[in-house]
Amino acid sequence: MTIGPTPISLRSPRAIAGLVILIGFALVPLVASYAGQSFYVTVATRILVFALAASSLNLVLGYGGMVSFGHALYVGVGAYVVGISVYFGVTSGWIHLLIAIPLCGGIAFATGLICLRTSGIGFIMITLAFAQMFYFLFVSLKQFGGDDGLPIPTRSDFSPLSIRTNTGLYYFTLVLLFAVLYLSWRFVHARFGRVLLGIKSNPRRMRMLGFPVLRYQVVAYVISGAVCGVAGLLLANLTRFTSPAYMFWTVSGDLIVIVMLGGIGTVLGPLIGAAVFLILETILSGYSEHWMLGLGLIIVLIALLAKRGLYGAIAS
């Protein structure tokens, strides 16, 4: 039996559904302009940002079997890179990226070396503990707003590109997400991805075969943290605000739910999961202040009826 993803035909229902979804997201600003509802672009951008963060989590959760409950840490750090940089007058988005990617990757490397010495509930609790440590650290930074957060007066400057308009930010985020989704597909079909899947299936056997299990896991965790930091950078540009709340454990929980809703271990699952989760949140919150109860019931129904997630349930 081979370890790895099942090849998908370009004419399969899953491939056709994925193509339709990607084209649909590419047309969102046009539809919003035609309908005169610019709010749609903001909601769709938020979906893309969370899909990017969930895709980074899916790399370690879906393919590596590492249930991280601390990915909100990297979302928050990426957001604060923008907020603190702009606070000191540095508005270049390229500099923000050059800071956010190695910083989040470095934090992931340092924490991953500790977290990955354990597994199961131990790994979950340690990743959660690190995220909460950084949460309280940024709460204590009164110079940058503390618990109240830090307003960002201007968006990052990605000259010659522009994200000053909501449409510009949307397409910039969409291109980055498409690039990550493509690289995720290439990753899982490459040797590294197959080894990671083997470690998820049977780490002891992979270790006996001579594979450095910890090294593969740490590398995957570092890549995941760096990509999640980019999502945080984009979230700060969307809201023009950053807060320790971005690092709170509930954000990590939302990302796990998004991955499982869309289909754990599938390339497009995080995008579909983010769309369903955030659209339901937007609709239900408009009807009742107890919208989380309704959202929870719907998630339970989806989990019972589509155990492989919404995208995973589509025939390949």
Find the range with the poorest average confidence among 18-32, 59-73, 83-97: 18-32
**Residue 58: per-residue pLDDT:** 94
**Buried (b) or exposed (e) across 195-224, using 16+ Cβ within 10 A?**
bbbbbbeebeebeeeebebeebbbbbbbbb
| Domains of the chain, earliest start first | 13-305 (1.10.3470)
Q: How many Cα atoms within 13 Å fall on the side-chain side of residue 11?
A: 0
Q: How confident is the model at residue 119 (pLDDT cuts 50, 70, 90)?
A: confident
305 exposed, middle or buried (CB, 10 Å; 0-12, 13-18, 19+)?
exposed
Report the first-to-last Cα separation within the chain, whole angstroms: 19
Could you tell me the two tokens for 136? 């309280």
Give me the sign of the Cα torsion angle 96, 98, 101, 106: negative
**Model-level pTM?**
0.92
If DSSP codes are grouped into helix, strand and coil, which group holds residue 151?
strand
- Read off the pLDDT of residues 156-182 as tens digits, 9 standing for 90 and up: 999 898 899 999 999 999 999 999 999
pLDDT > 50? residue 192: yes
If DSSP codes are grouped into helix, strand and coil, which group holds residue 97?
helix
pLDDT > 90? residue 136: yes
Distance between CA atoms of 46 and 199, rounded to whole angstroms? 33
Mean residue pLDDT across the chain: 89
**Residue 33: per-residue pLDDT:** 87
Find the range with the poorest average confidence among 68-77, 111-120, 228-237, 283-292: 283-292
Residue listed under structure tokens 């957060």: 149
- Read off the pLDDT of residues 208-218 as tens digits, 9 standing for 90 and up: 988 999 999 99
pLDDT > 90? residue 113: yes
Mean pLDDT within 106-131 = 92
pLDDT > 50? residue 2: no
Specify the DSSP element, H or E, that contains 208: helix 203-208
| Side chain identity, residue 198 | G
Q: CA dist 286 to 67, 221, 279, 282, Å?
A: 32, 37, 11, 7
How many other CB atoms are found less than 10 A from the CB of residue 136? 11
Contact yes or no for 247/45 (Cβ under 8 A): no
Task: Taking each helix axis as running N to C, give the angle between helix 213-239 and helix 39-61, from 0 to 180 degrees, rounded to the nearest 10.
Answer: 170
**Residue 1: per-residue pLDDT:** 41
Give me the sign of the Cα torsion angle 44, 226, 252, 146: negative
Mean pLDDT within 27-54 = 91
Q: How confident is the model at residue 298 (pLDDT cuts 50, 70, 90)?
A: confident
Q: How confident is the model at residue 75 (pLDDT cuts 50, 70, 90)?
A: very high
If DSSP codes are grouped into helix, strand and coil, which group holds residue 212?
coil
Specify the DSSP element, H or E, that contains 304: helix 291-305
